[in-house]
Amino acid sequence: MLGKAVVLFVAVAVSPFAAIMVTAFLLKEEIPADRLAFLAALPASHPGPFALGLFVIVALAWAIAALVTYGYIAPLRSIAEGTRVIALSNRRHRLSDEGSREMREVASSINALADRFLAVEADVMGRIQEARQALEEERNTLSALVAKLTQGVLVCNPEGRILLYNPRAQKLLEAEARATGAADWVGLGRSIESFIDETQLAHALEHIHHRLAAGDAAVLVPFVVQRPGGQTLSAHVVPVLDNDRRFRGYILTLEDITQRAGVDARRTTLLQTLTEGQRSAIASVRAAVETILTFPDMDEDGRQQFLGAIRDEAVKMSGRLDALEVEYAEELKAHVPFQEMLGSELVAAIGRSVRETGGVDLEVDAPLDPIWLRVDTLAIERSILFLVSQLSQACSASALSLTLEQRGGLVGLALSWSGAPLHGEALKRWGLRNVMTDRHGTSLNLFEVIERHGGAIWAHPPAIDGRPFVRVVLPVSEGRQGADRDAAEAGYGHDFDFRLFEETTQVVDRMNAPLSKLSYTVIDTETTGLDPRGGDEIIAIGAVRIVNGRLLRREIFDSLVKPKKPIPEASRAIHNISNEMVRGMPPISEALPALHRFVEDTVIVGHNVDFDMCFFALAADETGVRFDHHTLDTLLLEHAIHANQEDKSLEAIARRLGVAVTARHSALGDAVTAAEIFLGMIPLLEERGIRTLAEAKAASAATPAARHHQY
C-alpha cells in the first residue's frame, strides 16, 4: 500500500512540471528568446520563492496521494475483504463504520444488506431445519443405540475406511495397544487395517463376495483376531448392500473374549492332565488285572503283589483326581460372572438384606455421583451380613452404618458402629470362616470373596467421632465409569459420516486435490519459551482432526509433556502449566511418536505452524520420527486472504470469521480454534481461485509474511 502511495505522489508532483515542459515545447517557436532566458534563470535569481512554490506543489501532491490512498483505496480494499467474509464465511461479520463520509455510507449500506440477507437466510434455514428434524432425530437415535451396544461396532466402506464406530470399539482397539506403546487411533476416514490383520480381513471379505455371488441372502463371517498384549477378539463381518444388492461396505462387530479364551485353555489343560495323567495308571491296573485273570493258579504271594500294585495305582489316581478337583474349584472361583452395578444400589440392597435377614437396622449412605462396581452382588451382601452378625456378638455393635466412598480408582465400603473396637486378629479368624456356597457347590470364606473381587479388608481403630469401622475396598468398574464419562462428554455416542461410502479411492495426489476433500490434523503446542534452537522445549501438545470438511471434536490428541528443565516463571504466566502438572507425564521421546501416529495420512495445519514444526524437527534424533507431512499455516493464509486487515492475531481472525475462542493458550483449545478458522477460510480461498493444496501452499509462500516465518 505504501508503494502505491509513493507512485501516486510522484505522479501528482511531477504532473505540473510535465505540463509546463510540454506547453513550453509546443509554444517554443512563439516565446521570445529573452522570455525563455528569464524562465531558465528564474530558479537562480529567485531561489526562495521558487523553493517555496516547489514545496507547495510537492506537499499538495503528497496530500492528494495520501488522501486518495488512505481515504479511498485502502478503505475500499478493506471493505471488499470484509464483504467477502460476510458472503462466504461469517454471515454475522460487519464492516467497521470508519473513514470518510462516503466510505461510512458504503459500509453502512453493505451492513444493512448483510442484515437483510441474514434475516432471509435465517428464515430459510428455519424451514430447512424443520424438514430435517425427523432425519436428525433418526441420526441421534442411531448414534445413541450404537453407543449403548456392549459390542464394538464399526462400519467401513469397501476400502476399509471407517465411517462409524462406537465407544466400545474404540476402547477394544485402542486400550490394549496403549499399554504396549503401539497405539493407533480409531477415527473417521482411518483404515481398519491398522487394527485388524489385512490377510484375515481380506479372507473374510472374499468369503462374503463368494456367498453373495452364490445368492446367499444372509451372510455373516466370523473370525478371531489376536491383538497386542495377548488380547483376543471375536469378530463378525456383515456386508452392507444397496437396493441392487451391490456391495457398499461392511459392518464389523467385535467382542473381547480374552478371558473366556484363557478359561477355555486352562480347562482344556485340566482335561488333558486328567486323561494323560491317568493313562499310565489305568494301563498298570489293567495289566495287573489281566495277569491275575490269566494265571488263576498264581500263588498267594504273587496275587498279593499284583493286588498291592492295583491298590497303589488306585491311590495315586484318587490323589490326582482330588488335586484336579481342587484346581477346578479354584478355577471356578476365579471366574465367577460378575455384574455391573451402581454403588448406591449395592449399599441399598445390602441395607435391605441386613434388615430383613438379620433384623438389624443398617443406615446406608452413598454419594450422588454414579459409581459403578463389577461385583458378585450376592457374595458381597452375604459378606457384609456376616460382618454385621459377628460385630453384634463380639463388639456389642449398635447404630451400624454403611458408607460408600470413592478414592481414585477404588471404592470403600466403610462399616462403622458404636461399641467396642475390632482387633485385627479377630478379623483374621473371621476371614477364614465360610460366608456362602456358590452355584457350583464351592464354599467361600470371607477373604476368598474379597480376594476374587480384587479387593481388601481391614479393621480401623475409632475415628474422630469415636466409632470404629471396618473398610472393604473394591476396584471401580472401568468399563462403566468410562462409558458414563464418554456419554457425559459426547452426548449421543460417537460421530459418523456415511458420505464416505461414496469416496472409494484414497487421495493419492494430495497437492492437486481440492482442499475440501483432504483430511487434516490441526495442531498446537505450548512451550517453555520462544527459542526452539536455544533450548526451549515442548510441554503440551494438542491436536484435532478434520475429515470431509467437518471438525471431529471427539478425535483429539491432548497430552502434557515432561521437559528436561524446569518451566520458567514467565512461561507459566502465559499457559498456566506448572512443573507439578508435568511431573509423571510422558517425555518428548514418547509423546511425539504417539502424535506422529495420530497425524498419519493427513495434512498438518496450525497457526504459525512453522514454530511447532521446528520443535518437532529438532527432536527427530531423540524421538526417531520425522514429520514430513504437507503443512498449511492459517497465519499465512490470512495474509493471502486479508492482506489489508492490520490485526492478524488468532483472536482477531477468529472474530472476523465468527469463531468462538475458548481455552486460549492451551494446546488443545488453540488447536480447536485454529481448526474452526481454517474451515472458515476454505470458501474464502476458493473464491480467490485457491482450490488445491498446491495453490494454497503457493499463495502462502507468496505473502511477505512468509519471509519472516523461518525458525
Cβ atoms of residues 208 and 237 within 8 Å: yes
pLDDT for the residue numbered 227: 80
Beta strand 162-165 with 538-547 is: unpaired
pLDDT for the residue numbered 649: 87
The domains located in the chain, with CATH, are 1-144 (no CATH), 149-256 (3.30.450.20), 261-334 (1.10.287), 339-475 (3.30.565.10), 508-708 (3.30.420.10)
- The band of 174, judged by pLDDT with boundaries at 50, 70 and 90, is confident
Helix (H) or strand (E) run with residue 556 in it: strand 550-560
The C-alpha cell 457350583 sits at 440
Among residues 630, 664, 355, the alpha carbon closest in space to that of 520 is found at 630
Residue 429 pLDDT greater than 60, yes or no: yes
Residue 444 pLDDT greater than 60, yes or no: yes
**Maximum separation of any 2 CA atoms in the chain, in Å:** 171
Q: Which residue has the higher pLDDT, 236 or 132?
A: 236
- The band of 144, judged by pLDDT with boundaries at 50, 70 and 90, is low
Residue 268 pLDDT greater than 90, yes or no: no
**Which range is least confidently modeled, 27-31, 96-100, 392-396?**
27-31
Distance (Å, whole) CA 191 – CA 196: 9
**Which range is least confidently modeled, 65-74, 563-572, 620-629?**
65-74
Q: Give the 3-state secondary structure of 113-163.
A: HHHHHHHHHHHHHHHHHHHHHHHHHHHHHHHHHHHHCCCEEEEECCCCEEE
- Give the pLDDT confidence of 49-79 residue by residue, as tens digits: 656 766 777 777 677 766 666 666 777 777 7
Task: Kindly state the average pLDDT of the residues 688-703.
Answer: 93
pLDDT for the residue numbered 632: 96
pLDDT for the residue numbered 12: 46
Going through 149-279 in order, the beta strands assigned E by DSSP cover 152-156, 162-165, 221-226, 232-241, 247-256
pLDDT for the residue numbered 491: 43
Residue 426 pLDDT greater than 50, yes or no: yes
**Which range is least confidently modeled, 218-232, 416-430, 649-663?**
218-232
Distance (Å, whole) CA 321 – CA 327: 10
**Which range is least confidently modeled, 73-82, 238-247, 634-643?**
73-82
Is the entire prediction scored with pTM above 0.85?
A: no
Beta strand 603-606 with 631-633 is: parallel
Q: Which residue has the higher pLDDT, 45 or 92?
A: 92
Task: Kindly state the average pLDDT of the residues 539-544.
Answer: 95
- Give the pLDDT confidence of 583-600 residue by residue, as tens digits: 989 999 999 999 999 999
pLDDT for the residue numbered 308: 84
Residue 247 pLDDT greater than 70, yes or no: yes
- Give the pLDDT confidence of 469-484 residue by residue, as tens digits: 998 988 877 555 444 4
Q: Which residue has the higher pLDDT, 369 or 655?
A: 655
Task: Kindly state the average pLDDT of the residues 700-705.
Answer: 89
The C-alpha cell 440477507 sits at 117
Mean pLDDT, all residues of the chain: 79
Instruction: Give me Rg for the CA atoms of the chain.
Output: 40
pLDDT for the residue numbered 336: 53
Residue 11 pLDDT greater than 90, yes or no: no
Going through 311-409 in order, the beta strands assigned E by DSSP cover 339-342, 363-365, 372-375, 398-407
pLDDT for the residue numbered 454: 78
Helix (H) or strand (E) run with residue 168 in it: helix 167-180
Residue 417 pLDDT greater than 60, yes or no: yes
